[in-house]
């Protein structure tokens, strides 16, 4: 049976468009940033022969919990700016092999490339988030400029940083009422940073990597991009406020509670001082 063109698949188009947008925003310079998108077998089978493995790629991570799962991912060393023009080189559709130690490439990465070097962190975060929300499908890492800058100038404490972001834009509490998690600085691409990020993903959909960037997770591309976009806008406002001499007034904790009540969300326990 003739398969549809995978370039036309909604999940491929989403990856092409969001990577272009993130590059345009200046969040993903050079080969910075990576995205993984959990797919169903039915979605993949409409476009690819799932019995045809292009090549097998060893993985330095025990992925047995994800055995048989399909993902479309950005490639290691690939530039987000190039994805939209050459998706078959810069993206790959992979399946986690039954042994959990190998990846089966079904499409893409045509120049012999490999999936993002942050794949262990992505997979650990997918595992953690699916235990909290079985509908989680996206993990996104980016170097959002103003959030990155804040990690140099703001206390690296979850309550303090979350409260600052909540106070910068009224919508923030509504968008991420659970707040933001923070891990220590760790070497990227290691299982150690993946484990630390995943531990936070049990409680947060946004996790800050100090002096590096942010991880986001959610059910679809709009949700995750929107999470990061909203936090980054708040960080940008914070930057402007500090440059203008610091805040003279701000949203009060009672007003934040009133906001949460009005929108039916529950702020993270202990983060509001009432």
Task: Give pLDDT tens digits for 122-140.
Answer: 999 999 999 999 999 999 9
Average pLDDT of the residues of the chain: 96
- Three-state secondary structure string covering the chain: CCCCCHHHCHHHHHHHHHHHHHHHCCCCCCCCCEEEEEECHHHHHCCCCCCCCCEEEECCCCCHHHCCCEEEEEECCCCHHHHCCCHHHHEEEEEECCCCCEEEEEEECCCCCCECCCHHHHHHHHHHHHHHCCCCCEEEEECCHHHHHHHHHCCCCHHHHHHHHHHHCCCHHHHCCCCCEECCCCCCCCHHHHHHHHHHHCCCCEEEECCCEEEEEECCHHHHHHHHHHHHHHHHHHHHHHHCCCCCCCCCHHHHHHHHHHHCCCCCCCCCCC
Q: 202 among the known binding-site residues?
A: no
The verdict on whether 29 is a catalytic residue reads no
Reported for 41-47, long-range contacts at CB under 8 A and 24+ positions apart, including other chains, are: 41/70, 43/9, 43/11, 43/70, 44/70, 44/93, 44/95, 44/106, 46/3, 46/4, 46/9, 47/3, 47/4, 47/5, 47/6, 47/9, 47/107
What is the pLDDT averaged over residues 49-58? 96
What is the pLDDT averaged over residues 86-105? 97
Tokens of 71: 């993902």
Q: What pLDDT, on a 0 to 100 scale, did the predictor assign at position 60?
A: 83
**Residue indicated by tokens 């997770």:** 217
- Any residues with CB less than 8 A from the CB of 195 and at least 6 apart, and which? 124
- CATH number for the domain formed by residue range(s) 118-274: 3.40.225.10
Q: Same topology for domains 1-116 and 118-274, yes or no? A: yes
**Where does the pLDDT of residue 274 fall: very low under 50, low under 70, confident under 90, or very high at 90 and above?**
confident
Q: What pLDDT, on a 0 to 100 scale, did the predictor assign at position 2?
A: 66
* Share above pLDDT 70 across residues of the chain, in percent, rounded to a whole number: 99
Q: What pLDDT, on a 0 to 100 scale, did the predictor assign at position 3?
A: 78
Of 227, 152, 139, residue with least CA distance to 185:
152
Q: What pLDDT, on a 0 to 100 scale, did the predictor assign at position 1?
A: 60
pLDDT tens digit sequence for 206-265: 999 999 999 999 999 999 999 999 999 999 999 999 999 999 999 999 999 999 999 999
Separation CA 6–CA 43 (nearest Å): 10
* Confidence check: pLDDT of 61 > 90: no
Q: Which of 14, 104, 118, 158 is catalytic?
A: 118
Decide: 141 and 213 in contact? Cβ < 8 Å: yes
What is the pLDDT averaged over residues 68-86? 97
Q: 143 among the known binding-site residues?
A: yes
pLDDT tens digit sequence for 181-205: 999 999 998 999 999 999 999 999 9
Q: 154 among the known binding-site residues?
A: no
Task: Spell out the domain ranges in the chain.
Answer: 1-116, 118-274
Q: Thinking of the domain 1-116, which architecture would CATH place it in?
A: 3-Layer(aba) Sandwich (3.40)
Q: What is the CA radius of gyration of the chain?
A: 19
């Amino acid at each position: 049976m003739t398969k549809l063109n995978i370039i036309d698949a909604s999940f491929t188009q989403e990856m092409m468009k969001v990577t272009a947008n993130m590059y345009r925003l200046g969040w993903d310079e050079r080969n910075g940033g990576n995205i993984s998108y959990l797919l169903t077998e039915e979605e993949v089978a409409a476009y690819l022969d799932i019995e045809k493995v292009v090549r097998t790629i060893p993985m330095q991570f025990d992925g047995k919990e994800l055995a048989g799962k399909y993902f479309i991912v950005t490639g290691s060393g690939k530039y987000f700016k190039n994805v939209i023009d050459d998706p078959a080189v810069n993206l790959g559709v992979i399946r986690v092999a039954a042994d959990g130690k190998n990846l089966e490439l079904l499409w893409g990465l045509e120049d012999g490339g490999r999936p993002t070097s942050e794949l262990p962190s992505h997979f650990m975060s997918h595992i953690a988030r699916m235990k909290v929300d079985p509908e989680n499908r996206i993990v996104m890492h980016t170097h959002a400029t103003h959030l990155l800058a804040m990690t140099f100038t703001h206390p690296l404490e979850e309550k303090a940083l979350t409260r600052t972001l909540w106070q910068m834009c009224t919508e923030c509490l509504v968008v991420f009422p659970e707040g933001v998690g923070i891990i220590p600085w760790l070497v990227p691409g290691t299982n150690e940073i993946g484990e630390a990020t995943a531990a936070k993903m049990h409680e947060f959909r946004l996790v800050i990597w100090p002096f590096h960037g942010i991880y986001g997770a959610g059910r679809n591309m709009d949700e995750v991009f929107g999470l990061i976009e909203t936090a980054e806008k708040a960080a940008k406002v914070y930057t402007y406020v500090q440059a203008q001499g610091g805040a003279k007034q701000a949203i009060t904790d009672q007003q934040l509670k009133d906001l949460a009540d009005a929108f039916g969300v529950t702020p993270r326990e202990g983060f509001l001082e009432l």
